Structure 1
């Protein structure tokens, strides 16, 4: 494990998620505690959740990734709401 400060590791992972062509993700919160890296947020598909976890693992290979990202169903808007 590296002696790098947790906030720098989290920032490096967030940068990787934003810049990696597989993800281009800005909406995921990254926290580091001890030897664990926590990913939190919401995505529209399980595949996206897994890709984010992979990119995070590559950016911080010494940490155990805890993927707490929720998959939420994105639906088309229903009927128009009358105000």
Structure 2
């Protein structure tokens, strides 16, 4: 069986290099047969795509997509705090 750090590195590389994601800021943790994705993205579609790519890179693991979606305000918009 492949060492967890190698599986994590393989998934990380897939997320960085896959044309659907090109994502560098996602943390990948492997514990036993569990794969955890953590980080922040700006939309649900990107989050789902990251999960897809990770699942393809390590289909033998149970995926936990814990990536949070962060609303990004458009440039030039003032943030209004109540």
Please report the TM-score for the alignment, with normalisation by the length of structure 1: 0.89
Structure 1 runs of 4+ aligned residues shifted over 6 Å read none
Unpaired runs of at least 5, structure 1: none
- Give how far 1:11 is off: 0.2
1:61 maps to 59
Question: Which whole-Å CA distance do the structure 2 matches of 1:26 and 1:78 have between them?
Answer: 26
Deviations 1:17-71 (A, max 9, x none): 0000000000000000011000000000001000000000000000010000000
Q: List aligned pairs for 1:1-83, cutoff 5 A.
A: 3-76=1-74, 77-79=76-78
SS in 1 for 2:13: helix
SS in 2 for 1:4: coil
User: How many positions carry a matched residue from both structures?
Assistant: 77
Question: Which whole-Å CA distance do the structure 1 matches of 2:6 and 2:65 have between them?
Answer: 19
Judge which range, 69-78 or 18-27, deviates more: 69-78
Unpaired runs of at least 5, structure 2: none
How large is the RMSD of aligned CA atoms in angstroms? 0.9
